[in-house]
Structure 1
Amino acid sequence: MPEGKTAKNRMHLDIHVDEDRKAAEVDRLVGLGAQLTETHSDRGPLTYVMRDPEGNEFCLH
């Protein structure tokens, strides 16, 4: 989509990845076209917020 995001996603996926595999999974997803948008741990475990090539957000927990 050429337009920017104007509203919340209809669905937001939270995907559990074992702690020792998170960095490798982020690298794999970036290689497939995803974009890492932020990283935070304010709600517990380290979370990577990402977007797929169409701009839909999802999180790796």
Structure 2
Amino acid sequence: MTLEWEQTVVDARDPAALGRWWAEALGWSAVDDSPEEYEIRPGPERLPGLLFVRVPDPRTVKNRLHLDFRPDDQAAEVERLLALGARRADVGQGDEVTWVVLADPEGNEFCVLSSRRH
């Protein structure tokens, strides 16, 4: 049996707006921009993608799944994402961690890890 990871699905109040935000944040491209579903990928034929689907209810609790990103420069990337509209989030991580927890415009948490040491 062979499985290929196609996409991660993200519930959204406004799939197009959230999908465009993530496309800008990641430098990815839209491959489906219908009103009910908005999919982005690193390139048209590259996987996996993120698929944003419309749901009627707002997010009310901490995510049970979140994405982690490892940048070249953590501080610069955090500042860039905050300028795009992310906000800092507290999920109980404390002050002595090496990652930064942020939330996208709809409140979905994600982590910006420390830069990888070479």
Q: Fold match, TM over 0.5?
A: yes
Gaps of 5+ in 1: none
**2:60 counterpart residue number:** 6
Backbone CA RMSD of aligned residues: 2.3
TM-score by length of 1: 0.69
CA–CA distance in structure 1, aligned partners of residues 88 and 61 of structure 2: 19
Choose from 72, 77, 81 the match for 1:29. 81
Structure showing greater Rg: 2
Higher relative contact order (CA 8 A, sep 6+): 1
Gaps of 5+ in 2: 1-12, 14-56, 114-118
1:15-26 alignment to 2 at 5 Å?
15-18=69-72, 21-26=73-78
CA–CA distance in structure 2, aligned partners of residues 49 and 22 of structure 1: 12
Change (3 A) 1:54 1:8: same
Q: How many residues align?
A: 54
Change (3 A) 1:9 1:37: closer
For residues 16-59 of structure 1, what are the alpha-carbon distances to aligned partners after superposition, in whole Å with 9 as ceiling and x for unaligned? 123xx111101100010000225541xxxx10000000000000
Identity %: 48
Residue type of the alignment partner of 1:33: G
